[in-house]
Amino acid sequence: MLNFCRFVLVLLLSGQSFAAIMPAAEEVTEDVFRCSHYSALRTAFYGDTHVHTKYSLDASTQDTRTTPAEAYQFAKGWRLGIQPWNKQGRAQRSLRLQRPLDFTALTDHAELIGEVKICNSPGMEGYRSWSCKLYRWWPRGAYYLFNYMSSVEATHLGFCGDNGALCKQAALGPWQETQQAAEEAYDRSEACSFTSFVAYEWTGVTPGSGNLHRNVIFRNEQVPEFPFSWIDGPSKEALWQALDRECINAEGNCDVLTIPHNSNLSGGLMFTLTGPDGKPVTAEHTRWRARMEPLVEVTQHKGTSECFFAEGTRDELCAYEQLSYQTFKGQNSRSLAKAPDSTTGFLREVMLQGLQEQQRLGENPFKWGWLGSTDTHLGAPGAVSERDFQGHGGAGVPANDDLPKGLPDALEFSPGGLAVLYAEQNTRDSLFDAMRRKEAYGTSGPRIGVRFFAGWDYPENLCEQQDLLARAYAGGVAMGGDLNNAPAGRAPRFVVQAVKDVGDKDFPGTDLQRVQIIKGWVDSAGNTQSKVFDVAGDANNGASVDLSTCDRKGSGFASLCSVWQDPEFTAADNAYYYARVLENPSCRWSQYICSANKVDCSNADSITEGLEGCCADDHRPVIQERAWTSPIWYTPSR
């Protein structure tokens, strides 16, 4: 009650203009409390929604020992020991975030954290056995009972303590531990310094080893008894059904969403327009998908999925961290690798299909907000620095060695990116609502700031207005939103405002180069089109990077702002618009190591063991770090 009073007080004090533009009241599932940093106009919170700890088999086999609790502490700015380990079990290297994260979701593989739901498949023998009947009737009891049975033997050996308590404790799995760690990490005080989410990864694959993975993120501590895995249900529909049944439609305040990732590795099968029965999807299926899957991961450790690049592609920036293969098979065997193409899961192209579906069904299945994340397998959320990247897949270089001896990760992988959410405050409810309304963006790592709005009546000089934000919210929609009801003869106006990453004390952020707006639409003939507009900054500002030192040369912009009106707007065409903010060029993580080791590709002697990648044909030494906003969709009135 006291907190509610404080909230009302904040509203009153913060001025009438805020109250007028206050977005729809957020859904509240936890104790109502307001953080000391509460802001009605929302601020950007930085996080990582894709993190593996030692409970992921593919992390533990690489000797990652990070527990869920330690992963959260790392996100909060604590030092984390990573492999290799010495005899005493002490880490020989460590990592630390210069800037802590605001939120993190740990997403260990449900299939491998070992907990499978027993007796849930009517087709299987034994489904009707007494234990399965018990399970369906009283799941929690049955689970303990099964594990109790498994501890009976040990009890006879006098190993389990009184009543087998020790063995029962031992049989509890990582799902409990991950929940416990999330609860401990969540700052419920007024400082709201950190938010944790209970989550896991549903690890589906196609028969041809195409990636269908989805991260499952829960709103709060109310989560199903077991994570529903790909083994429990080998289709996304089975997953959503289970989440509806066990979470959304269950008693209490459970809420959940799924975030697909690495569509670039799906061989084009992540976003299909056929249902499980092989028939074209219905409007109902499409609405269901939109409800369950409001976000997509645009970039991470294993490549970027924004748009497809091949020689001749007009938008050359699509080449950024594009992998040279289209499924996991390509990662393991170059001879089996198939090159990606425009149909293998790149979001710009898939979202165009979404617009066509909008015309066909009146519903758009591919209407996502965008996030970046790391997919770290070291349990190191937010470790996105290019400068001291130690790999996300395994061990890197021992800290006691003066010079790195090789590249600590596969050449084509990268440190991955960050997830950014615009929310009133750093709480689970507030951040989860931001995910639902897609007021989110992804970065390739740096903390670039960007806001993106669209409206019909924005003044041309909106960038000059100090109350830009209040006006932008009041007169239009933020990123992730929908633009409807075009006034006759009017084209939408977009305002995009970007600021460079300020950097940390060791490494000032890189200046901005330019801001672009990318438009995708379906023309009157039903053809899909896309076009990139430069709306602010200067592509030819002359900035560059010195490859031998990785020093950045030249300057760019500290901030950019533009009001842009679509010059080719047609009120009858379905369209989406998103903004892309580009930094000046900087060294890629691999080049930092190559240049520190003085590799000179014209001198074979300088290419020492482990550094062959520096001179490989597909090595890209220079990158332009960037941010992608969630799109804003325009839908014509029917």
Partner 1 sequence: MRLNSFKKPWLHFLLIGALLYILQATLQTVPRVTIQLPSEERIAELRGQWLRSTGYPPSAEQVQQLVDDEINQEILFQQALRLQWHLTDAVVRQRLIRDVLFVDPENNSDEQALFEQAIELGLHENDLVVRRRLVQRMEMMAYAPIRLGAVDEQALQSIYENNPTAFVQSPRIKFRHVFISSDRHAEAVQQARSRLQQLSTVTAESSSRLSDPFLHGLQFNSLNESQIARYFGADFSRELFQQVQYEAWQDRWLGPITSSYGEHLVWIEAAQTAQQKPFAEVRKTIVSQWRREREQQALNEMIKQLRREYGFDQA
Distance CA 187, CA 427 (A): 8
Contact range with partner 1 by CB under 8 A, out of 195-203, 493-501, 563-571, 627-635:
493-501
Distance CA 128, CA 381 (A): 43
Q: Does 324 bind partner 1 (CB under 8 A)?
A: no
Q: Does 447 bind partner 1 (CB under 8 A)?
A: yes
Rounded to the nearest whole angstrom, what is the least distance from the CB of residue 407 to partner 1 in the complex? Answer: 5
Q: Given candidates 22, 170, 547, 615, which one binds partner 1 under the rule CB under 8 A?
A: 170
Contact range with partner 1 by CB under 8 A, out of 345-353, 366-374, 405-413, 623-631:
405-413
Residue 84 neighbours by CB distance under 10 Å? 12
Output 16 or 524, the one with its CB closest to partner 1: 16
| Cβ–Cβ < 8 Å for 556, 584 | yes
Q: Does 332 bind partner 1 (CB under 8 A)?
A: no
Taking Cα atoms as reference points, which of 62, 357, 52, 323 lies closest to residue 213? 52
Rounded to the nearest whole angstrom, what is the least distance from the CB of residue 449 to partner 1 in the complex? Answer: 5
Task: Write each residue from 81 to 100 as x if it is in contact with partner 1 (CB under 8 A), else as -, in one continuous string.
Answer: ---xxxx-x---------xx
Distance CA 287, CA 49 (A): 24
Taking Cα atoms as reference points, which of 367, 577, 567 lies closest to residue 476? 577
**Residue listed under structure tokens 């239009």:** 476
Contact range with partner 1 by CB under 8 A, out of 113-121, 311-319, 434-442, 484-492:
113-121
Q: Does 227 bind partner 1 (CB under 8 A)?
A: no
Rounded to the nearest whole angstrom, what is the least distance from the CB of residue 420 to partner 1 in the complex? Answer: 12
Q: Given candidates 217, 242, 468, 486, which one binds partner 1 under the rule CB under 8 A?
A: 468
Of 586-615, which residues contact partner 1 (CB under 8 A)? 609-611
| Helical (H) or strand (E) element with 354 | helix 347-361
Q: Does 238 bind partner 1 (CB under 8 A)?
A: no
Rounded to the nearest whole angstrom, what is the least distance from the CB of residue 184 to partner 1 in the complex? Answer: 5
DSSP label of 327? B
Q: Does 41 bind partner 1 (CB under 8 A)?
A: yes
Q: Does 368 bind partner 1 (CB under 8 A)?
A: no
Whole-number Cα distances in Å, 266 to 241, 257, 330, 336: 22, 20, 11, 15
* Coil, strand or helix at 318: helix
Output 120 or 324, the one with its CB closest to partner 1: 120
* Coil, strand or helix at 436: helix
Q: Does 561 bind partner 1 (CB under 8 A)?
A: yes
DSSP output for 156-167: HTT-S-GGGHHH
Q: Given candidates 243, 292, 522, 560, which one binds partner 1 under the rule CB under 8 A?
A: 560
Q: Does 71 bind partner 1 (CB under 8 A)?
A: no
Helices within 42-104 (DSSP H only) = 57-60, 68-75
Of 172-191, which residues contact partner 1 (CB under 8 A)? 172-174, 184, 189, 191
Contact range with partner 1 by CB under 8 A, out of 124-132, 241-249, 521-529, 578-586:
124-132
Rounded to the nearest whole angstrom, what is the least distance from the CB of residue 505 to partner 1 in the complex? Answer: 4
**Parallel/antiparallel/unpaired status of strands 440-443 and 626-629:** antiparallel
Of 505-524, which residues contact partner 1 (CB under 8 A)? 505, 508-509
Distance CA 283, CA 210 (A): 26
Distance CA 228, CA 74 (A): 27
